[in-house]
Amino acid sequence: MSTTASVGTASAEGGGGGDVAPPSATASADTPMTGADGVPEGTSPDKPASPPAAATTTAASTEKDAASAATFLFASESVTESHPDKLCDVISDAIVDACLTLDPASRIACETVCKTGVVIVLGEITTSASINYEQVIRDAVRDAGYDDPAKGLDYKTCNVIVALEEQSPDIAQSVDAAKVEDIGAGDSCIVFGYACEETPEFMPLSHVLATKLSARLAEVRKDGTLDWIRPDGKTQVTLEYANNESGVPVPKRVHSIVISAQHSEEVSNDKIAADLMEHVVKPVVPSQYLDESTLYHMNPSGRFVIGGPHSDAGLTGRKSNVDTYGGWGSYGGGALSGKDATKTDRSGAYAARWVAKSLVANGYCARCKVQLSYAIGLSHPMSVYICTYGTCTNKNGMAERDLVKMVESKFDLRPGCIVKELDLRRPIMRKTAAYGHFGREEEEFKWEKVKEF
């Protein structure tokens, strides 16, 4: 019987907790050799696959070998809203919303740190609102499920430290303007947006599945379906992709699923594995992507009683790939949470996604990456870059080199205009803090509404 509750359909013990060999970048004889970046040589999620080299004919050569040589593995991960890093994002954005609710013109740059029994909030906030920051913090910790020291944090008794100052007047004078359209960028930064045709959300499937699994982990805790689950949790999904004739990665199957769920002391590893398969994996992952070779690893560490901030310190902005595109496209480096929309790390990233999704949804390309760059105090972006990975359709005679001019004519990418058009002075930021800022159809997320052109 497995002590790690790792299960695999190919296991001698079946799906109820038998050990399987841990997946790797080359998981089986059927998967291709990988380069230093973990992507098969000659194949990349960012460029079309090179034609497979002619194989020496041997008695062991099969059609399956040839097919698998043209595929690659790509993994995305996600975490629950109560993971220590994500808890810090939630707290930071709860403070942003508290300020925006009373003063929509608030300037906020708020970082959170958490560890066993303590939450520290620090940063710069300029607002006319009177905020009980300690109460906002305790409420967010409570909502994340941390109501007992045994879970790593207790909202009733944890120590709360608030170290907030006003925004530097040097920064403020460079951002301020008489009209919102003319405000300067709150910082210098580069941001990226990404979109693809893989899913109805115009998001990569590996990211979508990992995100939905982590959200489902929280759901079965909150509704009592699984009474042994505690707040902390993490998921990882590896897909096998093949590039089609246009060089677009197409998901073929789920190679492996890893779920780590914090749990109570008394539950057995076999029950953890069985419950996660039945109540988390099956309701989320479409069956057509699962086969007899799919690997499942449920709490592969074997024990996850100590979790949350007790196990690992949390920090705002440390789950960038979880927040964005699961490792696809690119990421500019700035945190999204804890900032008002004058910070172009946030508003610029939303605009870049808006542009990328609109280009794909309007049929100008099958995949799209958009880069925007901003300089502190200046109201226009320094640069706009668009990459379609060779999938530009030349719709309306628009080659890839023409897309930037078209985008600049259709979207006003000044920070103030982004704030105005996407209505980013509303208290909607806490909702973005967990389960991704993109690929969600909430009414408040106006950057997900395709602009028709």
CA dist 91 and 429 (Å) reads 11
- pLDDT tens column, 201-218: 999 999 999 999 999 999
User: Which comes out higher in pLDDT, residue 44 or 376?
Assistant: 376
Q: pLDDT band for 47, please (50, 70, 90 cuts).
A: low
Q: Is residue 313 a contact partner of residue 287, using CB atoms and an 8 Å limit?
A: no
The one catalytic residue in 69, 77, 86, 192 is: 86
CA dist 375 and 202 (Å) reads 29
Q: Is 234 a catalytic residue?
A: yes
**Is 324 a residue whose pLDDT tops 50?**
yes
Q: Is 85 a catalytic residue?
A: yes
The one catalytic residue in 93, 201, 240, 345 is: 345
Nearby residues of 128 by Cβ (< 8 Å), 6 or more positions away: 102, 103, 105, 106
**Angle at the Cα of 256 from the Cα atoms of 255 and 260, rounded to 5 degrees:** 165
**DSSP symbols for 51-99:** PPPPPPP-TT--HHHHHHHTEEEEEEEEE-TTSHHHHHHHHHHHHHHHH
CB crowding 46-82: b at 16 or more within 10 Å, else e: eebbeeeeeeeeeeeeeeeeeebbbbbbbbbbbbbbb
Say what the pLDDT of residue 120 is.
98
The one catalytic residue in 138, 151, 255, 343 is: 343
- pLDDT tens column, 414-446: 999 999 999 999 999 999 999 999 999 999 999
Q: Is 319 a catalytic residue?
A: yes
Say what the pLDDT of residue 20 is.
33
Q: Is 312 a catalytic residue?
A: yes
Q: Is 271 a catalytic residue?
A: no
Q: Is 115 a catalytic residue?
A: no
Q: pLDDT band for 394, please (50, 70, 90 cuts).
A: very high
What mean pLDDT is predicted for residues 238-246? 94
Q: Is 345 a catalytic residue?
A: yes
Q: pLDDT band for 161, please (50, 70, 90 cuts).
A: very high
User: Which comes out higher in pLDDT, residue 15 or 193?
Assistant: 193
CB crowding 292-308: b at 16 or more within 10 Å, else e: ebbbbbbbbeeebeebb
What mean pLDDT is predicted for residues 173-185? 73
Token representation of residue 450: 């395709």
**Angle at the Cα of 48 from the Cα atoms of 45 and 51, rounded to 5 degrees:** 125
Side chain identity at 168, as an amino acid letter?
A: S
Q: Is 313 a catalytic residue?
A: yes
The one catalytic residue in 93, 111, 143, 201 is: 111
Q: Is 124 a catalytic residue?
A: yes
The one catalytic residue in 19, 81, 85, 93 is: 85
CA dist 113 and 88 (Å) reads 6
Say what the pLDDT of residue 69 is.
59
User: Which comes out higher in pLDDT, residue 410 or 43?
Assistant: 410
**Is 180 a residue whose pLDDT tops 90?**
no
Q: Is 438 a catalytic residue?
A: no
- pLDDT tens column, 357-375: 999 999 999 999 999 999 9
Could you tell me which of 257, 330, 327, 326 has the C-alpha nearest to residue 298?
257
The one catalytic residue in 313, 408, 446, 451 is: 313
The CA–CA distances, whole Å, from 390 to 47, 48, 49, 327, 399 equal: 8, 8, 12, 19, 10
**Is 280 a residue whose pLDDT tops 50?**
yes
Q: Residues of the chain with pLDDT > 70: what percent?
A: 84
The one catalytic residue in 30, 312, 408, 444 is: 312
Q: Which region among 19-33, 239-253, 425-439 has the lowest average model confidence (pLDDT)?
A: 19-33
Say what the pLDDT of residue 186 is.
80
Q: pLDDT band for 125, please (50, 70, 90 cuts).
A: very high
Mean pLDDT of all residues in the chain? 87
Q: pLDDT band for 67, please (50, 70, 90 cuts).
A: low
**Is 355 a residue whose pLDDT tops 60?**
yes
What count of residues does the chain have?
453
The CA–CA distances, whole Å, from 67 to 59, 61, 294 equal: 16, 11, 17
Q: Residues of the chain with pLDDT > 90: what percent?
A: 76
Say what the pLDDT of residue 174 is.
65
